[in-house]
Every structure is written in C-alpha cells, then in structure tokens.
Amino acid sequence: MKRWDLTAFGEILVDLLPDGFDSNGRPRLTVSAGGAPANVAAVAAARLGVRSAFIGKAGNDAFGLYLKKTLERCGVAAQGLVFDGRLPTTVAAVSLSDDGERSFSFYRGQTADANLCADEVDGEIIRNSRIFHFGSLSLTGEPARSATFAALKEAEAGGCLISFDPNFRPALWKSADEARARIFSVLDYVDMIKVSEVEAFLLTGERSPEKAAAALTERGIAAVFVTLGKKGACFRVKGGGGFVPASDHPCVDSTGAGDSFTAAALSRAAAVGTERFRRGADVAETEEIVRFAVQIAGETAARKGAFPDPPSGALQSRAENR
C-alpha cells in the first residue's frame, strides 16, 4: 500500500487577485495561494479526500511560509516543499474580465520555483505515490527542467500513473515553438493529459477538440481530456470518446477551474484503479469521470481564487492524522 494517492510537482506561487477599490480609488488586492500543480494537490485533498503530497520550491519569505501553511491546512503533505533563502516566492497578478475569465502577469525567473534543483526532489515521496502529476512551467528553464526529468524518472520507476497539464502561459516561453518542443519532450512518460482548447491546437494543429484528442491518444496517451471553458469538456480513451456539457454554475473567476477538473479526474482514476486506467478506461466510465470533473470545475469558477477553502470537521481530522 502506497502512502499517497497523488503527488503533484512543480510551481507554487501567490496570486494577487483584484478586490475592488478603496475610498481613494486605489485598487485593492487579495493574496491567494496559486500554482497549477499545488492547486491540484490542494483541491484533491481539501475537497475530495485524496491523500495528497506536493513537491516544489518557495522563497523563505512571508509568501512562502503562507503557502506552506495553506497546503497543510488543506490536508496536503508539504515535506516536499523546500525553501530558498536567496530567491523570493513567485508572484502572479491576476486580471479578471467582466465574465470572470482571467489573464496573468507573472513575476518569475529569478524566483524560487524556477530554481528547484534535481537533488532537492524527494524521490521517496514520489515512489510512495499512486499518481504523479506535473505541468510544463517547470520545463521553461534550468535547473527546474532537470528537476522535472529527475522526478519523472522516479515516477516511472515507482509505477505511478503519470498525469500532465501543459498549462501553457505564452509570457513564460520564448516562443510557442519552444513550448511545443519542451512539452513533446515529456509526452512519452504521460498516461493522462488535460489540455485546454488552445493547448490542444498548440500540440496537434487540429482546430477540432475531438480530432486533437484523438491525435494525442495516437501518441500512446491512455486518457486525454480537453476542457472547453463554458462549453464543457471532451475526452478520448482507447475505446472512443465523448463530450460533457458545462455545469450551470455562474463564472465569477475561472482561476483554478482547470486544476479542479484535473484533481477531480485524478481522484476518480485513483478510485477506478491506476493500472486499469493506464491500460484503457471504459468509455462510459470515463464519461462519468468527466461529468464529475466538470461539476467540480464549475464550483471552483463560481467563487474567487484558485485554492479551495481548507476542510473542516471529519475531513480535517482525517488529513491531520495521515
């Protein structure tokens, strides 16, 4: 029996969210925990009861300590989070449109998460996990790129189901071609991928999400999910594919909705059985997984911020006793 159902690896940062204006007309900002892989671990633990761990790097500063406490309050094992005494925690300023869609301005580069080193990756945590999840931001440069491959090799050796979300952020890459090449460099490891409509086109050149999903399964990926925002999501597994419409929740802030989708899908993959999921999940079974994931994503988009509220009651007690 492995200790963790899910270990997420990669960036952790703070999101600065717009929160109206003060009496002098100055914008107010709310600090919220962020970073796609960290979000996945937090949603899985806090909302879905999944035994989750996180591996990454933050600055040894007020933001970094806040992030560690937030992970722990959500029930995520944070011993894999290391601190950098020289470099600060990464920051993302979030802008929201009138319909709740978000855009980001990143303050990243000479920051902690981009400088995670291979020898700082706790391989024991990964080998003791059923599922390993990561994104592409740790591939944007060294030393985090080498740390990513070190983690992937541990996950492969440990027999993990390997999940990937490209989470394409154009501002953090020199070009779309570079992003595509780096993403392709890890796909041979991947059993499950969640992509947006934009990312599906980036990787396949297919305008149709269904055709893009089929193209990715032809690369040997066992399960492909394409999230379509307000339209819902489509999927493809070995036996076929399908489409699930979006939930009827209002969109207040889409930050973290895709991460919640991923966390929900991974929680159900863990329940189905990772080996079975890797071999090829049943189409009807996968449709139910996507239906659940769309619902969880919709609930996230109906409120501000990416990270979930920390659990309480029985779930909090369970998390603390892991």
pLDDT digits (tens, 9 = 90+) for 91-115: 988 776 666 566 778 889 899 999 9
Three-class secondary structure assignment of 287-299: HHHHHHHHHHHHH
Question: Tell me, what's the pLDDT at 90?
Answer: 95
Of the listed ranges 40-54, 160-174, 220-234, 304-318, the least confidently predicted one is 304-318
> Could you tell me the pLDDT band of residue 52, with boundaries at 50, 70 and 90?
very high
Q: What is the mean pLDDT of residues 153-167?
A: 97
Q: What is the arithmetic mean of pLDDT over 194-203?
A: 97
**Which of 11-15, 29-33, 299-303 is the least confident region?**
299-303
User: What strands, in cross-sheet order, belong to the sheet with 90-96?
Assistant: 27-34, 13-21, 90-96, 102-107
Q: How far is CA 163 from CA 66, 160, 192, 256, in A?
A: 27, 9, 5, 17
Give the pLDDT of residue 304: 59
Tell me the percentage of the chain whose pLDDT exceeds 90.
Answer: 70
- pLDDT confidence of residue 312: 44
- Confidence band of 71 (pLDDT split at 50, 70, 90): very high
Asked whether the predicted pLDDT for residue 249 surpasses 80, the reply is no
Q: pLDDT > 70: what percent of the chain?
A: 88
pLDDT > 60? residue 318:
no
pLDDT tens readout for residues 1-21: 899 999 999 999 998 887 888
Structure tokens at 291: 């239906």
Pairing verdict, β 90-96 and 27-34: unpaired
State whether CATH 3.40.1190.20 applies to domain 4-311.
yes
Q: Which pLDDT score, from 0 to 100, does residue 182 have? A: 98
Which residue ranges make up each domain of the chain? 4-311
**pLDDT at residue 138 is higher than 70:** yes
Instruction: Kindly report the pTM of this predicted structure.
Output: 0.90
- pLDDT for position 154: 98
pLDDT at 231: 92
Nearest alpha-carbon partner for 79 in 71, 89, 90:
71
Query: What average pLDDT does the structure give for the chain?
Result: 89
Q: Average the pLDDT over 219-245 and give the result.
A: 94
Statement: residue 314 has pLDDT above 50: no
pLDDT exceeds cutoff 50 at 321: no
